[in-house]
């Protein structure tokens, strides 16, 4: 016989389905809220972060501008200390009227002065060059090597471009990019040349740790990089993508430029992606915490599902049973039985034979009258138990009212005569077992059971017709003397 | 498997997958938090100050080496002070006397006696032996930096003077490497008419050159072992006369006229310099295609003293009051033994004494260098070299000699008066040391 889900089973599935749906909706809401947090709010914070970083870079750039101005100014100021005594700045080594001895003594004095005023600075060069290229003080070998054919004085003199102070700064002389020179005229035949290694500016261009990815450059008016926190860039041209976006930057860089002394510029730049990398990390952080939260809630939901839904399931099942099961007999009540049989009949199944049985206890009234209603109820209870015991689970059993019961089952791919024979055999057993079960009541009250069986293989047959035909067969059994059954076939 | 079991099985897998997902998410989360925490927990930066003197080459490679040290030791920042030798001694005096010296400093051998007479002027490196590879040095090498049982400094290299000659100039005038003082004068007779000198050298070298002659010719020491002045006025008088004759006869270029570029151009046939300065005097010349030949120490026949001295080239020491002895010791060890630093430094300070450094340089052809050959010769004739007496390098004493000698060279005073004045000034300087 075909196995079908009972209404109870279908109802339970629906309940579980609702629970899972609720869980999914719950988790989905968490994920959606997370997505909103991550992609909308964090997107907004990205823009804020970019703006704030830009402000921070601007403030930092301004500070660096002040630092470099101060550094350059100090170098210039130290040089002016050579003007503290005429013997330092008026001495002319090319003056032929001076004796060699006088020159030696003058130069010793100048040398001492240079040591004194340059004592605490990291100079690569600090000395005086005379118009015949004679040198006093620290004019380094590196500087001399830039002029293998001589001509130091003439070359450095060309960089004195400030007519008021008679000085000037220069970078890149004869391809030298490792130092920055300051030149100041002392007299018509003498210039002071001081220099420091460009990498010394690392101590000037100190920037906050938060901007450690920032590249800081000092560029001259030709956009040649005189210093860069990336030493490899020194001496090269400022990259076009930075040079063309000195005010604010573009999509790829945040750039800020500040003009300092000598029309040089401090240019700070940070790749935008570096600035936003913190935001990306934050986004990832939020994503992972959301995933973890969603997972935890899901597990919590499953836990609650397991702990709460099972008892609930029991309550639901209990309520459902109360609604569908006849309290006294333990079988379906009339409406449930009818609904289930109608449902079964509505299924399209080829070649099936319906068996509908109506059962009624004969002389049941005598039980109530003689043994009391309570015993009557007990007979109903035991009758229900008897039918459940004698019929398999595929057979629907319902109590239609009073002492009247109905059975429905169906056989597929079996010929009607065979079904009739089986139904009869089954009914004989019912009659026999009934007598055994109720032997006492039979003796006292004369109860027995009558049945009407309708066996139909008529396609499209309905509940009403089956019921009526079985009822008519029952009536026939009653009229024929009770304690028997009558089979009615329909085709 | 029935339907109920299948459902349970699927549910179990589902739960396990979710648990795995949660665990994964938590791991990612914790790594994200850890990354942030690492950033926050960045240890406090240690800032060291380091100082040295030297030339362009030394400044640049030392700064590069310091960059390397900082890369290898995150969290340690090294600032530096550097400058030319001239004036550096004065700088050092200012720092030492004002307790403002660097954590790690290059010092001259003479400064151990000057600034640490009882051995407490510099950090005792024996206390930092966990961080410094002292096994790389022989006991004798360590002894140069010892004072009162404390290791005040470690030598970078051993150094003495050597002579280099421009072989092209010698060949042009049919000259050969001089072996004696007389040879020098003989060469001068050939070169003087051409406006050339046999030798040109810096102020300190001139002083030590003359000191060698004095000790050879007199058989006496210029300074006693304890640094006191041994030469008398008569000895100084004779030495000044000899000095003048060197200049007048074009054996030696006047100190004030000495210019290294003139040596390059061949105005001087040769020079006397520290072995550690070989690169400056030889490589530049060799790059122009000129052949350079190492010379011999001029000797006086029958001399009982050689007059030539050896010293630890320069030394590294640590400030006695440094706040970061461990980090300073690591930096010092890096400067002396780290292969990267040794490769940068090469023989710029002379042939290193550290075995570790020598091993690195040997792989790079150390034994083919002029410095190595000069050092080998020094080692082979150790009996001819004495350990330098610190006052021989005392800048004030050398200045007193030079300044006083000028008075005689330019006929401003008699040689006797000059000798008297020089001696008095030298004695004043030495007395002030006490």
| Amino acid A311: pLDDT | 65
Q: Are strands A179-187 and A190-197 parallel, antiparallel or unpaired?
A: antiparallel
- Residue A10 is predicted with a pLDDT of 55
Name the strand (E) or helix (H) holding A426: helix A416-437
Domains in chain B with CATH codes? 46-156+313-362 (3.40.190.10), 159-310+385-433 (3.40.190.10)
Return the H-helix or E-strand segment holding B159. strand B158-166
CA distance A283 to A286: 5
Q: Cβ B55–A141 below 8 Å, yes or no?
A: yes
Is A144 touching B (CB cutoff 8 A)?
yes
Confidence (pLDDT) at A309: 63
End-to-end Cα, chain B, rounded Å: 104
A-B contacts at Cβ under 8 angstroms: 95
> What is d(CA A178, CA A292) in angstroms, rounded to the nearest whole number?
54
Q: Outline where A118-174 has alpha helix (H).
A: 141-145, 152-157
Residues of B with CB under 8 A from a CB of A: 11, 14-15, 18-19, 21-22, 25-26, 28-29, 32-33, 35-36, 42, 55-57, 59-60, 63, 79-84, 86-87, 90-91, 94, 256, 260-261, 280, 284, 403, 406, 410, 412
- To the nearest whole angstrom, how far is the Cα of B412 from the nearest Cα of chain A? 9
Cβ-based contacts of A285 with chain B (< 8 Å): 29, 32-33
Determine the pLDDT at residue A326.
Answer: 74
Alpha carbon distance A106, B256 (integer Å):
12
Mean pLDDT of chain B: 89
A199 near B CB under 8 A: yes
Tell me chain B's radius of gyration from C-alpha atoms: 29
Give the mean pLDDT of B150-175.
93
**pLDDT at res. A9:** 56
pLDDT digits 0-9 by tens, A288-347? 777 777 777 777 777 776 776 666 666 666 676 667 777 777 788 888 899 889 988 888
User: According to the model, what pLDDT value does residue A328 have?
Assistant: 73
For position A314, what pLDDT does the model report? 66
- DSSP for A154-217, please give it: HHHHTT--BTTTTEEEEE-GGG--SEEEEEEEEETTEEEEEEEEGGGGGGTS---GGGTT-EEE
CA B189/CA B183 separation, integer angstroms = 10
- Report the residue from A115, A203, A292 with minimal CB separation from B29: A292
Distance CA B37, CA A279 (A): 16
Q: 3-state DSSP call for residue A450?
A: strand
Closest CA to B327 of B47, B86, B17: B47
Q: Using one digit for the tens of pLDDT, what is the confidence trace for A100-144? A: 999 999 999 999 999 999 888 899 999 999 999 999 999 998 899
Q: What is the pLDDT of residues B252-301, one digit of tens each?
A: 999 998 987 777 778 899 999 998 888 888 877 777 888 889 999 999 99
Asked if A200 is an interface residue toward chain B (Cβ–Cβ < 8 A), one would say no
CB contact under 8 A, B29 and A288: yes
Quick: pLDDT tens for B371-380.
888 888 888 8
Beta strands A485-490 and B46-53 are unpaired
Q: Is it the case that residue B401 has pLDDT exceeding 50? A: yes
In the DSSP assignment, the letter for residue A325 is B
For B86, the closest chain A residue by CA position comes to A115
Report the C-alpha gap between B245 and B239 in whole angstroms.
10
- A3 band by pLDDT with thresholds 50, 70 and 90: very low
- Which structure tokens are listed for B360? 């690195």
Which residues of A are less than 8 Å from B32 in CB distance? Answer: 281, 284-285, 288
Rounded to whole angstroms, what are the CA distances from B39 to A212, B46, B78, B200? 12, 17, 21, 58
Q: Is the pLDDT of residue B116 over 50?
A: yes
Shortest distance between the Cα of B387 and any Cα of chain A, in A, equals 30
The CA distance from B304 to the nearest CA of chain A, in Å, is 37
pLDDT at A4: 46
What is the pLDDT, as a whole number, of residue B84?
Answer: 86
Per-residue pLDDT of A11-51, as tens digits, reads 556 666 777 777 778 777 877 877 777 677 777 777 787 78
The pLDDT of B154-158, averaged and rounded, is: 91
A123 CB neighbours in chain B (<8 A) are 83
Q: How far is CA A73 from CA A131, A156, A393, in A?
A: 26, 19, 105
How close does chain B come to A286, measured CA to CA in Å? Answer: 9
| 3-state helix/strand/coil string of B365-419 | CHHHCHHHHHHHHHHHCHHHEEECCHHHHCHHHHHHHHHHHHHHHCCCCCHHHHH
> Across-strand partners of B317?
B105, B153
Mean pLDDT of B166-171: 92
- Residue B16 and residue A486: Cα distance in Å, rounded? 61
Neighboring chain B residues of A145 at a CB cutoff of 8 Å: 284
Average pLDDT over residues A405-426: 91
pLDDT above 60 (res B419): yes
Cβ atoms of A249 and A241 within 8 Å: the answer is no
Check pLDDT > 80 for residue A161: yes
Cα–Cα dist A230/A233, whole Å: 6
CB within 8 Å: B18 and A299: yes
Task: Say which of A141, A142, A292 has its CB closest to residue B25.
Answer: A292
Q: Which residue does chain B place closest to A127, by CA atoms?
A: B84
- d(CA A267, CA A256) in angstroms, rounded, equals 6
Average pLDDT over residues A157-166: 94
Q: E-assigned strands of A317-426?
A: 352-362, 396-401, 404-412
Burial per residue of B405-416, b for 16 or more beta-carbon CB atoms within 10 angstroms, e otherwise = bbbbbeeeeebe
Q: What is the pLDDT of residue A129?
A: 97
pLDDT at residue number B339: 94
Contact (CB<8Å) B56/A140? yes
Q: Which residue has the higher pLDDT, B84 or A87?
A: A87
Q: Does A373 touch chain B (CB under 8 A)?
A: no
CA distances to A42, B202, B247 from A35, in Å: 10, 77, 90
Is residue B134 exposed (0-12), middle (13-18) or buried (19+ Cβ within 10 Å)?
middle
H-helix or E-strand spanning residue B79: strand B76-83
Question: Distance between CA B75 and CA A194 in Å, rounded?
Answer: 33
In angstroms, the CA B59 to CA B336 distance is: 16
- Cα–Cα distance between B300 and A215 in angstroms, integer? 64
**Neighbouring C-beta atoms of residue A266, cutoff 10 Å:** 26
Whose structure tokens read 């270029």?
B253
Q: How confident is the model at residue B2 (pLDDT cuts 50, 70, 90)?
A: low
What's the gap in Å between the CA of A42 and the closest CA on chain B?
17
Q: Is the pLDDT of residue B368 over 50?
A: yes
Structure tokens belonging to residue A100: 């060699």
Nearest to A129 by CA among A197, A186, A178: A186
> B91 vs A100: CB contact, 8 Å cut-off?
no
State the nearest Cα–Cα gap between B112 and chain A, in angstroms.
22
Q: Is A309 on the interface with B (CB under 8 A)?
A: no
Comparing alpha-carbon positions, the chain B residue that sits nearest to A306 is B11
What would you report as the CA-atom Rg of chain A, rounded to the nearest whole angstrom?
Answer: 55
Alpha carbon A101 to chain centroid, angstroms: 85
For residue B28, how far is the Cα from the chain centroid? 54
Cα angle B256-B261-B267, degrees, rounded to a multiple of 5:
75
pLDDT tens, residue by residue, B187-221: 999 999 999 999 999 999 999 999 999 999 999 99
Residue B338 has pLDDT above 90, yes or no: yes
> CA–CA distance from B386 to each of A183, B159, B308, B381 (Å)?
46, 12, 7, 11
Contact A140 B84 (CB under 8 A): yes
Whether residue A8 has pLDDT greater than 60:
no
**Is B351:B275 a contact under the CB 8 Å cutoff?**
yes
Distance CA A342, CA A337 (A): 8
Provide the angle, in degrees to the nearest 10, between the axes of the packed helices B203-218 and B395-409: 80
Q: What is the pLDDT of residues A233-265, one digit of tens each?
A: 999 999 988 888 877 667 788 888 889 888 899
Taking an 8 Å cut-off on Cβ atoms, the answer to whether B56 and A144 are in contact is no
The predicted structure's pLDDT at residue A251: 75
The residues facing B153 across adjacent strands are B317
Q: Which of A213-227, A278-292, A434-448, B403-417 has the highest mean pLDDT?
A: B403-417
Test B403 with A101 for CB contact under 8 angstroms: no
> Quick one: closest CA in A to B85, which residue?
A138
Distance from CA of B104 to the nearest CA of A (A): 16
* Residue A404, Cβ density class (10 Å: 0-12 exposed, 13-18 middle, ≥19 buried): middle
Instruction: List for chain B the helix, strand, coil content (%; round to 5).
Output: 55, 15, 30
Beta carbons of A405 and A388 less than 8 angstroms apart: no
A124 lies within 8 A of chain B by CB: yes
Residue A1 pLDDT: 40
- What is the pLDDT at residue A322? 65
- Whether residue A299 and residue B32 make contact (CB cut-off 8 A), yes or no, is no
Mean pLDDT score of chain A, rounded to an integer?
A: 85
Whether the CB-CB separation of A341 and A397 falls below 8 Å is answered with no
């Amino acid at each position: 016989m075909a196995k079908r889900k009972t209404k109870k089973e279908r109802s339970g599935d629906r309940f579980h389905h609702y629970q899972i749906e609720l869980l999914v909706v719950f988790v989905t809401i968490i994920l959606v809220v997370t997505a909103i947090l991550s992609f909308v709010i964090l997107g907004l914070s990205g823009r804020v972060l970019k703006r704030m970083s830009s402000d921070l870079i601007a403030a930092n750039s301004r500070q660096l501008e002040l630092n470099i101005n101060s550094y350059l100014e100090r170098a210039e100021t130290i040089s002016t200390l050579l003007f503290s005594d005429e013997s330092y700045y008026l001495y002319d080594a090319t003056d032929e009227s001076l004796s060699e001895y006088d020159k030696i003594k003058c130069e010793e004095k100048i040398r001492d002065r240079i040591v004194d005023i340059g004592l605490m600075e990291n100079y690569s060069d600090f000395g005086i060059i005379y118009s015949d290229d004679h040198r006093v003080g620290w004019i380094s070998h590196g500087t001399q090597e830039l002029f293998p054919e001589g001509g130091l004085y003439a070359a450095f003199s060309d960089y004195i471009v400030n007519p008021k102070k008679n000085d000037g700064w220069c970078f890149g002389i004869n391809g030298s990019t490792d130092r920055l020179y300051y030149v100041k005229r002392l007299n018509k035949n003498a210039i002071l040349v001081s220099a420091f290694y460009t990498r010394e500016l690392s101590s000037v261009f100190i920037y906050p740790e938060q901007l450690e990815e920032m590249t800081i450059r000092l560029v001259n008016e030709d956009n040649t990089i005189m210093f860069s926190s990336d030493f490899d860039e020194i001496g090269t041209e400022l990259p076009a993508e930075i040079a063309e976006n000195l005010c604010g930057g573009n999509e790829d860089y945040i750039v800020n430029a500040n003009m300092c002394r000598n029309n040089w510029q401090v240019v700070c730049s940070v790749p935008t992606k570096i600035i936003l990398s913190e935001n990306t990390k934050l986004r990832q952080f939020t994503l992972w915490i959301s995933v973890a939260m969603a997972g935890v809630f899901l597990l919590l939901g499953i836990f609650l599902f397991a702990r709460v839904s099972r008892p609930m399931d029991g309550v639901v099942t209990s309520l459902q049973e109360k609604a569908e099961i006849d309290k006294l007999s333990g079988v379906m009540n009339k409406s449930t039985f009818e609904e289930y049989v109608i449902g079964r009949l509505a299924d399209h199944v080829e070649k099936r034979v319906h068996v509908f049985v109506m059962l009624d206890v004969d002389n049941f009234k005598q039980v109530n009258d003689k043994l009391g209603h309570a015993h009557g109820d007990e007979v109903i209870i035991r009758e229900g138990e008897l039918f459940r015991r004698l019929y398999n689970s595929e057979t629907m059993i319902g109590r239609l009212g009073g002492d009247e019961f109905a059975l429905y089952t169906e056989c597929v791919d079996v010929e009607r005569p065979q079904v009739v024979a089986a139904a009869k055999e089954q009914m004989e057993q019912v009659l026999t077992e009934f007598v055994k079960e109720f032997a006492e009541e039979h003796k006292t009250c004369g109860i027995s059971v009558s049945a009407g069986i309708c066996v139909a293989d008529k396609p499209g047959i309905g509940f009403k017709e089956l019921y009526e035909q079985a009822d008519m067969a029952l009536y026939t059994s009653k009229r024929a003397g009770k304690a028997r059954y009558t089979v009615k076939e329909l085709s | 498997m029935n339907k109920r079991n299948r459902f349970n099985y699927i549910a179990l897998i589902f739960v396990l997958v979710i648990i795995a997902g949660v665990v994964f998410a938590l791991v990612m989360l914790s790594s994200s938090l850890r990354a942030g925490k690492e950033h926050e927990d960045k240890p406090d930066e240690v800032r060291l100050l380091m100082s040295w003197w030297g030339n362009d080459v030394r400044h640049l490679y030392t700064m590069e080496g310091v960059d390397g040290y900082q890369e290898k030791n995150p969290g340690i920042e090294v600032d530096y002070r550097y400058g030319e030798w001239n004036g550096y001694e004065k700088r050092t005096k200012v720092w030492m006397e004002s307790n403002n010296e660097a954590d790690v400093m290059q010092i001259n051998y003479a400064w151990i006696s000057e600034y640490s007479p009882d051995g407490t002027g510099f950090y005792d490196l024996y206390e930092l032996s966990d961080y410094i590879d002292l096994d790389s040095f022989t006991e004798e090498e360590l002894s140069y930096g010892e004072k009162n049982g404390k290791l005040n400094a470690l030598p970078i290299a051993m150094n003495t003077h050597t002579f280099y000659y421009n072989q092209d100039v010698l060949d042009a005038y049919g000259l050969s490497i001089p072996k004696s003082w007389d040879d020098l004068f003989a060469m001068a007779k050939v070169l003087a008419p051409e406006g050339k000198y046999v030798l040109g050298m810096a102020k300190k070298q001139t002083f030590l050159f003359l000191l060698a002659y004095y000790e050879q010719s007199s058989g006496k020491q210029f300074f006693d072992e304890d640094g006191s002045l041994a030469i008398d006025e008569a000895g100084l008088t004779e030495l000044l006369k000899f000095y003048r004759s060197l200049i007048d006869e074009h054996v030696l270029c006047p100190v004030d006229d000495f210019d290294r570029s003139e040596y390059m151009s061949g105005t001087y046939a040769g020079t006397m310099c520290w072995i550690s300065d070989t690169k400056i005097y030889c490589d530049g010349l060799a790059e122009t295609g000129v052949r350079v030949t190492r010379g011999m120490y001029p000797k006086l026949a029958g001399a009982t003293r050689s007059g030539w001295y050896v010293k630890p080239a320069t030394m590294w020491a640590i400030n006695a009051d440094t706040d970061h002895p461990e980090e300073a010791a690591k930096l010092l060890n890096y400067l002396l033994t780290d292969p990267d630093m040794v490769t940068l430094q090469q023989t710029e300070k002379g042939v290193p004494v550290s075995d570790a450094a020598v091993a690195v340089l040997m792989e790079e052809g150390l034994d083919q260098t002029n410095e190595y050959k000069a050092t080998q010769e020094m080692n082979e004739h150790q009996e001819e070299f004495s350990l330098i007496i610190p006052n021989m390098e005392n800048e004030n004493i050398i200045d007193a000699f030079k300044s006083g000698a000028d008075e005689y060279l330019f006929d401003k005073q008699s040689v006797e008066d000059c000798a008297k004045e020089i001696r008095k000034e030298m004695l004043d300087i030495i007395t002030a040391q006490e």
